[in-house]
Structure 1
Amino acid sequence: MAKKLFYLLFLAVACSPSATTVKTDLQNTRPAWLSANPQQSGYYIGRGQGIKDGTNNYIQAAKKSAFEDLISEIKVTVSSSSVLTQIDANKEFQEKYEQIIQTTAADDIQEFEQVDSWEDEKTYWVYYRLSRERYRQIKDEQKRNAITLGMDFFVKAKQADRSGEPVQALAFYYQGFRALEKYLAEPIRIDFEGKEILLTNEIIASMQFILEKIQLTANPSEIMLNRRMVQNDQTVLVTALDKASKKPVTDLPLRAAFEKGAGDVFPDYKTGQNGQIKVLLTKIGSRDIEQKIGVTVNMLSFAGDQPSPVYALVSSKMVTPKAVILMKVQRPLVYLSSIEKSLGTDKSNQQLTNRVKNYLANAGFEFTEQKDKAELWVDINSNSEKGAQSGSIFITYVTAVIRVSTVKDNKEIYATTLDRVKGYSLDYERSSQEAYNKSLETLEKEKLPELLNAILQ
């Protein structure tokens, strides 16, 4: 009987919560790799955690974190004879390149393994590793394939260049660069036509050499323009020629952009059989009297719609031929007339008129008191009218009509109405003023941008 009682007592103690906790703690001991960064010879190591906060997939979060930690272990070593060293004296470019390669390294990581995982009530941890030797083998194979492909495009580019096809040569050089861009930090030595070359260095130098042989000229290089594009009928042509032979360079991608001032210019072009493009300017948005448009070779065009960050970085360092178009911009002269009334009586403060005048002046327009000397006529007519009265609240409505016409032929180019903008106050006079204040808000936010856009077409 005593033995039976002892057995029952032992069973009760063993099944108690405290005993269970002791057992769980012993089974879920925190592993050593969490306390200190594990060091394994011949391996890259990555650890990551996911928080069990009920709002995310903590296991996937931990795996992602461990993978990123693993990638951060892999460093980019820049050789002193690599192309990066040659084109980047202050190492700013090199740092950006290293960041890009680090970011894209995930695409090359293969055959890593999960060593362990551990979790408690709040956190889930994962431990990854990657064999340094296996990673080197994979990278070496990828590099050999890249060199073979890059060399093939390099040879094709040389042939195209020697055949007088500079645009085709640039396209092939780009393809060669694209194949090798992950190895810019390394000197890739290749035998070509009986001499040793650094392949990536030679590709970039050859692209730059082709660019130096191209000349871009704008005709005319200086023009007088009115800010109102409808008043302009000048055509600007940009021609691409080979400097030595003076032959036109066809199918050359060019890009136009404002270098000084602002506006809308069609950005992308390709030269025709005569080596020319016609620059399409649709709007001058700046009030500056002197503005410039630059036309350059668009090196990013060779990469298609989505150039890699590495190529975008390298191409930005290339010196490309450029044509500059200097524009002397004439400011339109405006005659302004207005009638503003409040409840049928002339207003002492012409709010709408002053706001329109200030807006146009800030946009680069000038004003004259002589209508016959003006290019544009802006006319403003507004009045307020009494509405209903509800107790001590008086309601007033403002209606305003704004018209813009050409003085020369009296052609209307813009018209708008602020229709019955409502104001509330304790009497009709203050209610009218409130309606005018609200009209100013609509005018500023909606109507004036429309007006300016219509004028500048």
Structure 2
Amino acid sequence: MNKFPMILILTFTGWFGFSCMSTKNIPPKPDWLISRPVSIMDYIGIGSAPLTSDVNDYRQLAKKNALNDLAGEISITISNTSFLHKLAVNDVFNETFDSRTQTSIHENLEGYTLIGTFEDKTTYWAYYSLSKSTYQSLKQQRIQKALDNALSKFSMAMQYKSDFEYYNALVLFVKATEDIKPYLAEPLLTKYKNTEIYFGNELFNEILACFNALKIVPVKSKIAVKRGQMINDESLTFIVSDHTDRHVEGIPVLADFSGGGLINNKARSGKDGIVAFSIPKIRSKKNVENFEAKIDVATLLQDATNDFIIKKLLRNFGNKTVAVETTILNPVFYIETTENSFVKPTINELKEVCKETLIANACDFTENRAEADFVLTIVTDCRKTEEVNSVCKVNFTAEVTVQNQLGKTLYQRNVTDIMATQRNCEAAEKEADTKGKEYLKTRVMPDILTQLF
């Protein structure tokens, strides 16, 4: 008998049997993986994770992905009686809020059930479901708990409001908003003082009413100031009051000056409702600038909450701005110059040089010392330092001072290092004088203007 065909038959039979045995070790995919289940009674979530050496790791990852998938089936609808609907936020913010709410839904998921799992050689799948009625029941329990907390703060805020303590009222209204943040799109029908209210609507209306009741009024609506001088707090005083003109304490106020130079732009109203600002020095070359003040909503929200979403929701409340028109007057200079020469008396050109520079930099001048804001005094001297073999060296010096109306010295500078050398002293003096005046025009005068303004 030929043994080769028998060996071939046995080999084939063995391979076929092994192949069948291997196929039987891999169970077929369950129906929920082949076709995603659809249910009117349950939310469905299916998630997967690649197999790793850590069983708990990939199972937890698959569970997380499945619950994310399940949360995605829970739709978010903004009720027309909700806080968000009243706010009428833009579409970009809606997307941000929806994303945060979806995350909140996932974090608060409970009552879900593991329906099945499946794994092949590379991947593990998990299938979870959550009864829609169970979800709604648990959600209503969470909403009621949030409402209980929010209503407690709301009640205290209403008492503060009736006592005209608007700052405390607003802080508590914001904290109440934070309590119901996951449910700002819900109608939140509840009872307050035996009356049914849509809490989100009511809360929004009270926050708006507080901001609308507040006003900031400048003591002076128009002021004038010389460039280079300060604006003191008497000129930039505001009163924070409510619609009945009752002074309001503790309201943060934010200021801005279009001409720059405002060092402290934040303050709070005192018991008399007064808030005041000052600007150390006016530098603007414009004829008119505006000083503006408004309620500092960002600071108020920072006092009440650290929640980014709540701050973003409420940041546009209370943005009414008041302005103080600020006329900027040109400073007036009185110029006094003395030019000393040892060879040839010089024409007093220096005063005209100074005037040109001042006019070009929005300054005026006067011939009456009593009318001046600043007195500019310049004394120059050209002196021969050496004359050898018909070569003459001349040194130009200058003493420069600026004083205010009270005689206080604001600027002082000595110029000593300008030299000229020529074959005769008249030419050397002329060169030194020209160099010196150019130095005063291009270096000293700009330095004076920088120091004063």
> Does the pair score TM above 0.5?
yes
* Matching residue of 1:27: 26
Shift of 1:141: 0.8
Shift of 1:315: 1.9
Confirm or deny: 8 A CA contact 1:257 1:265 kept in the other structure.
no
Shift of 1:127: 3.2
* Matching residue of 2:270: 272
Mean Cα deviation higher: 200-209 or 219-228: 219-228
1:48-81 per-residue CA deviation (whole Å, 9 max, x = no partner) reads 3446899xx7666544433332222111222233
Shift of 1:301: 2.1
Alignment of 1:172-187 (within 5 A): 172-187=172-187
Shift of 1:266: 4.0
* Matching residue of 1:312: 311
Q: Which runs of 5+ in 2 are unaligned?
A: 333-359, 367-371, 375-399, 404-409, 414-446
Q: Which runs of 5+ in 1 are unaligned?
A: 334-365, 376-404, 413-450
Q: Distance in 2 between matches of 1:114 and 1:264?
A: 63
Note the aligned Cα RMSD (angstroms).
5.0
Shift of 1:216: 0.8
Q: Distance in 1 between matches of 2:262 and 2:306?
A: 24
Q: Distance in 1 between matches of 2:452 and 2:29?
A: 71
1:348-394 per-residue CA deviation (whole Å, 9 max, x = no partner) reads xxxxxxxxxxxxxxxxxx76999x99x9xxxxxxxxxxxxxxxxxxx
* Matching residue of 1:381: none
1:319-355 per-residue CA deviation (whole Å, 9 max, x = no partner) reads 455433445578999xxxxxxxxxxxxxxxxxxxxxx
Q: Distance in 2 between matches of 1:331 and 1:256?
A: 25
* Matching residue of 1:251: 250
- The amino acid across from 1:84 in the alignment is L
SS at match of 1:172: helix
Alignment of 1:283-298 (within 5 A): 290-298=289-297
**CA spacing shift, 1:406–1:216, aligned 2, 3 Å:** farther
- The amino acid across from 1:137 in the alignment is S
1:231-273 per-residue CA deviation (whole Å, 9 max, x = no partner) reads 53522333212331x3321122333456x67776545433222
Confirm or deny: 8 A CA contact 1:82 1:185 kept in the other structure.
yes
Q: Distance in 1 between matches of 2:299 and 2:208?
A: 14
SS at match of 2:180: helix
SS at match of 2:65: helix
* Matching residue of 1:13: 15
Q: Give the length in aligned residue pairs.
A: 347
- The amino acid across from 2:184 in the alignment is L
Q: Distance in 2 between matches of 1:84 and 1:269?
A: 31
* Matching residue of 1:346: none
Confirm or deny: 8 A CA contact 1:264 1:284 kept in the other structure.
no
Confirm or deny: 8 A CA contact 1:297 1:322 kept in the other structure.
no
SS at match of 1:216: strand
Q: Distance in 1 between matches of 2:221 and 2:315?
A: 25
Confirm or deny: 8 A CA contact 1:47 1:125 kept in the other structure.
yes
SS at match of 2:248: coil
Mean Cα deviation higher: 23-32 or 88-97: 88-97
Mean Cα deviation higher: 159-168 or 109-118: 109-118
Q: Distance in 2 between matches of 1:36 and 1:282?
A: 74
Confirm or deny: 8 A CA contact 1:253 1:301 kept in the other structure.
yes
The reply to whether residue 81 of structure 1 matches residue 75 of structure 2 is: no
**CA spacing shift, 1:233–1:263, aligned 2, 3 Å:** closer
* Matching residue of 2:213: 213
Shift of 1:214: 2.0
Confirm or deny: 8 A CA contact 2:175 2:304 kept in the other structure.
no
* Matching residue of 1:70: 70
The reply to whether residue 142 of structure 1 matches residue 147 of structure 2 is: no
Shift of 1:139: 0.8
Q: Distance in 2 between matches of 1:63 and 1:261?
A: 59
**CA spacing shift, 1:15–1:295, aligned 2, 3 Å:** same
**CA spacing shift, 1:455–1:181, aligned 2, 3 Å:** farther
Shift of 1:305: 7.0
* Matching residue of 2:351: none
* Matching residue of 1:169: 169
Task: State the percentage of identical aligned residues.
Answer: 23
- The amino acid across from 1:34 in the alignment is L
SS at match of 1:249: coil
TM-score (norm 1): 0.58
* Matching residue of 1:357: none
**CA spacing shift, 1:71–1:285, aligned 2, 3 Å:** farther
- The amino acid across from 2:248 in the alignment is V
- The amino acid across from 1:172 in the alignment is L
* Matching residue of 1:160: 160
* Matching residue of 1:109: 109
Alignment of 1:348-359 (within 5 A): none
**CA spacing shift, 1:283–1:38, aligned 2, 3 Å:** farther
Q: Distance in 1 between matches of 2:34 and 2:402?
A: 83
The reply to whether residue 128 of structure 1 matches residue 128 of structure 2 is: yes
Confirm or deny: 8 A CA contact 1:84 1:93 kept in the other structure.
no
Confirm or deny: 8 A CA contact 1:263 1:286 kept in the other structure.
no
SS at match of 1:304: helix
Confirm or deny: 8 A CA contact 2:217 2:322 kept in the other structure.
yes
- The amino acid across from 1:81 in the alignment is T
Q: Distance in 1 between matches of 2:65 and 2:200?
A: 34
Confirm or deny: 8 A CA contact 2:411 2:451 kept in the other structure.
no
1:5-26 per-residue CA deviation (whole Å, 9 max, x = no partner) reads 899858963796xx38x72585
The reply to whether residue 47 of structure 1 matches residue 46 of structure 2 is: yes
* Matching residue of 1:390: none
Q: Distance in 2 between matches of 1:286 and 1:367?
A: 11
Q: Distance in 1 between matches of 2:412 and 2:37?
A: 81
**CA spacing shift, 1:89–1:146, aligned 2, 3 Å:** closer
SS at match of 2:240: strand
Q: Distance in 2 between matches of 1:225 and 1:182?
A: 52
- The amino acid across from 1:184 in the alignment is L
Looking at CA atoms only, which structure, 1 or 2, has the larger radius of gyration?
Answer: 2
